[in-house]
Amino acid sequence: MISITTSGRTIGVNFNDKGEAEVSVWAPEAKKVELLSARHTLPLAKAEYGYWELVTSALKPGDPYHFAVDGKEQRPDPASLSQPEGVHGPSQAFDLKAFSWTDQSWANYPLEEYLLYELHTGTFTPEGTFEALEQKLDYLLELGVTAIELMPVAQFPGSRNWGYDGVFPYAVQYSYGGAAGLQQLVNRCHEKGIAVVLDVVYNHLGPEGNYLGEYGKYFTDKYHTPWGGAVNFDDAWCDGVRRYFIENVLMWFRDFHIDALRMDAVHAIKDFGPVHILKDIRKYVDQLMAETGRKHYLIVEMDLNDNRYIAPVERGGYGMDAQWVDEFHHALRVTSGEERNGYYADFNGIEHLAKAYNDTYVYDGQFSAHRKRFFGTKVESTLGQQFVVFSQNHDHIGNRMLGERTSQLLSFEMQKLVAGAVLLSPYLPMLFMGEEWSEPHPFLYFVSHTDPELVEAVRKGRKAEFAAFHLEGEAPDPVAETTYQDSKLQWELLGQEPHQTMFRYYQQLIRLRKEQPALRCLSREQLSAEANKAQQTLELRRWDAGQRALCLLNFSDQPQTMALPTEETSWRKLLYSAETPWGGPEQPNDQLLAGSSVTVQAQSLLICTNHYV
């Protein structure tokens, strides 16, 4: 493995203490590499392992530049930090060390205190910028979240994109505010007491503006992904590629003060070398943390139900801190009425939801009809903070033809119930922007590619994907600006009903999760969940620090009588979603828990507690 330093970025264009540009480009099979600026053509000298290097005072921060390999067409820097003119334009030299950080007193939260809020920078505010996002931080504090999760910000074509089509992993989307804007946002978040998680994509790059292959063997034909060529982590010339992505991880943590990374679809990363790339990333992040004293987390999206990803390195794992758990979402959505087709076909509803509480993985060795094979392993970790759960996210909304949120698919009462199911779990909960006020706008799939052939291919692909759903209408045009505008949050709804009530309800759920010991504890050994299939009810018990919590969830369309445990007495109501303060049909009743059973209204949840010594 090529030696990697954690003290500073070493590839691309970086500025030393003398103000000189230190330039390094990986082009292992090139005969000549030149840097082209407005005033100069500067040759780079060949160094070890396929790198080309130059130290010059002729390039200053803010200057545009290109590279030319073997005298061919000029291209942007593969490790560019700034692309003001888009993915096809020149790179812009940027000094990462120029920003004046004021977050020296910031200490990242323990992972178990993360309450995540996923957002898309472009549609979160009318302006769609980091600066506008800053103006909403007080609102997020009022809601009670502790960490925002930014969907990918790596430079993508145009100004409208989910972010998973990025082609410059080091460059921050210029229309959002660029690298300086992201540094300012993170600094401000830390001043407010909010952690920042960044979504990054290391399994593929987008199709437009992807020039990496012209420099070196960044991609391999050995494997394929659903989104294009696989990144070369274990084939010939893979060392330069591995260094490229490891340094990218280190840059976000060291130079942007990002607190955690969410790595997209790591099951699509193909690496059969002796040391998996995730394990290597873990090693260098540990080194960085030892040097800086700052804590950073590595969270992966992974649907393999494989303990290896989150197991410690010393036990043969890759050492990731946490993973997303789609199966909790799938079981919850089927329980709340989602049709059992596609990937929902494997889930039977409330019994699988109870299993998701008890065992985390629903499939931990059983036969999966959807996958047509036995699937999964039993979870070894007892730490609930190693798993991120949600009732909706960008994928499961935006991959629907019409991009409907739960606000459009479920009743107001059921929305409150599924929110409670997530926030009462022993896992890390994640909200998707706007769900906390029942935002009715969809979150649609949108792009703004400039290549006409690619634009048409995207349109045709989207139509073909939903051809079987023609009775529901046409899939919105992903290239149209109206599709993007229709996906923006409507902040004015916060002052209207029933949105204001939903917001207060989320606030109260979050407050209870933080304040009640039994709900705050994330030990998977201190809970039990039992489903009643006939009633469509679920009893969730949790306990810690002298307190028991009883959560009764009724997913049916009828009131259901549920027993109160007889081994404890003096149950105290913490929240009942069916009551009028939360927009429900029932008047508050102080005698609700006086007997040995309680009638829980349709599509509602009741949370009560019993302190013991």
Give the active site residues: 264, 301
- Residue 579 is assigned to a ligand binding site: no
Q: Is 221 annotated to bind ligand?
A: no
CA atoms within 13 A on the CB side of 491: 12
397 labelled as ligand-binding? Answer: yes
Q: Is 168 annotated as contributing to ligand binding?
A: no
Pairwise CA distance, residues 261 & 200, whole Å: 7
Q: Is 329 part of any known ligand binding site?
A: yes
333 is in an annotated binding site: no
Is 396 annotated as contributing to ligand binding?
yes
264 annotated among ligand-binding-site residues: yes
Instruction: Give CA–CA dist 342/350, Å, rounded.
Output: 18
441 assigned ligand-binding residue: no
Q: Is 263 marked within a binding site? A: yes
327 marked as binding residue: yes
Name the residue among 220, 195, 100, 150 with its Cα closest to residue 394: 150
Name the residue among 109, 117, 111, 52 with its Cα closest to residue 79: 52
395 assigned ligand-binding residue? yes
* Cα–Cα distance measured from residue 194 to residue 108, given in angstroms and rounded to the nearest whole number: 9
If DSSP states are collapsed to H, E and C, what string results for 404-430? CCHHHHCCHHHHHHHHHHHHCCCCEEE
- Cα–Cα distance between 172 and 195 in angstroms, integer? 19
Residues whose CB falls within 8 Å of the CB of residue 210, separated by 6 or more in sequence, listed in order: 167
- 330 annotated as belonging to a binding site for a ligand: yes
Report the distance separating Cα 428 and Cα 345, nearest Å: 25
Is 399 annotated in a binding site? The answer is yes
- To the question of whether residue 583 is assigned a binding role by annotation, the answer is no
Q: Which residues of 255-287 are buried (b: 16+ CB within 10 A; e: fewer)?
A: bbbbbbbbbbbbebbbbeeeebbbbbbbbbbee
Beta bridge partners of 597: 563
User: CB burial class (10 A; 0-12, 13-18, 19+) of residue 547?
Assistant: middle
Distance CA 51, CA 29 (A): 10
If DSSP codes are grouped into helix, strand and coil, which group holds residue 209? coil
Known binding-site residue numbers: 262-267, 326-330, 394-399
* Residue stretches of the annotated binding site for substrate: 262-267, 326-330, 394-399
